Amino acid sequence: MNFSKNITHWYSNNKRDLPWRRTKNPYHIWLSEIILQQTQVNQGLPFYEAFVNHFPSVFHLAEAKEAEVLKLWQGLGYYSRARNLHASAKYVANELQGAFPNNYKDLLKLKGVGDYTASAIASFCFNEPTAVVDGNVYRVLSRYFAIDTPINSSKGSKEFKSLAQELIDKKNPSEYNQAIMEFGAIQCKPKNPDCLACVFKDACVAFNENRIDALPVKIKSAKAKKKYFNFLVFVSEDGKTILEQREGKGIWQNLYQFPLIETPSDITETAFQEHLSSHTILKGQDYKWSLYNKDAIVHKLSHQHLYTRFWIINIKELKGQTIPINSIRDYAVPILIGNFIEQFNF
């Protein structure tokens, strides 16, 4: 069986109609690939359309302020992608005069572009025969050939990349790369794939050995750390509140949040009162406080789980750097805080 021929034939009959498949514009394809890192198509599609409309060229994106880019990215998570997107746009616009790198090697020089993304852009836009290997490709190849090398090991990444490169249709790498990813996305799904309707069921080793659910193999990651976040939502009588910009290289870099008290464990209302009474903003002030959510909101990130409570602080007057409450939606915030802002009746 000709693997590449069969999978591209399947693709021609089953592919989804997606906007980035109707173009060879490297700017648009680069945007789509960065957005779709860690994001499913149905979630990423409206963000792609928003970026294309808001920043129709790499020059528009390069000229934007980072806060504007982060605000448009809000809800996608993994915000380093947005910062890298912005940095690379500046590089392409200012150093390359708007001309995107047209080969795999030079694409790797863009910030936030690794092997997969460089291979995708090089093949989709410039027909370079560089094989893509993403989660979908790992799954298809590991099942078809019954490979049990962990996909998140250095040995696995080399083994699967080498195999993918052997299989690629060198005459039509763009179509082949899109075909194998699409096949993994809608046919060879992670759970409950419809193997009986699969064009590869007779040749798929995992299917014939009843090992579909066991592949691909992945080394278990370390247990997520628990953190306990207590956000102080100040509301003054004259309609002001406080948002602070996060700094450093941790989560949510450069995004805005309400003043935060982080505690080593979950906190009682009595213990919270002690923390609150010593807070700089509240010294010498009369205020009332209430707990917005009795049960902590658990916000799961890749390596940590945030147990979060929002504490509403009603106060007569706020001093220092404040913002009007009616402008709070103009700031780029993590989705956790964005959801609270939409739910809370300021």
Distance CA 229, CA 127 (A): 48
Q: Where are the alpha helices (DSSP H) in the chain?
A: 3-14, 26-35, 41-54, 58-63, 66-73, 80-90, 104-107, 115-126, 135-145, 154-167, 173-186, 205-208, 269-277, 335-343
Distance CA 260, CA 7 (A): 51
CA 327, 332, 333, 334 dihedral sign is positive
* Phi and psi at residue 325, to the nearest 5°: -60, -35
Cβ–Cβ contacts within 10 Å for residue 66, how many? 13
Residue 33 known to be catalytic? yes
Residue pair 165/177 in contact by the 8 Å Cβ criterion: no
Distance CA 199, CA 15 (A): 15
Instruction: Give 106: exposed, middle or buried? Use CB within 10 Å, 0-12, 13-18, 19+.
Output: middle
Q: Among 314, 312, 272, which Cα is nearest to 293's? A: 312
Three-state secondary structure call for residue 231: strand
Cβ–Cβ contacts within 10 Å for residue 42, how many? 8
Three-state secondary structure call for residue 235: strand
Active-site positions read 33
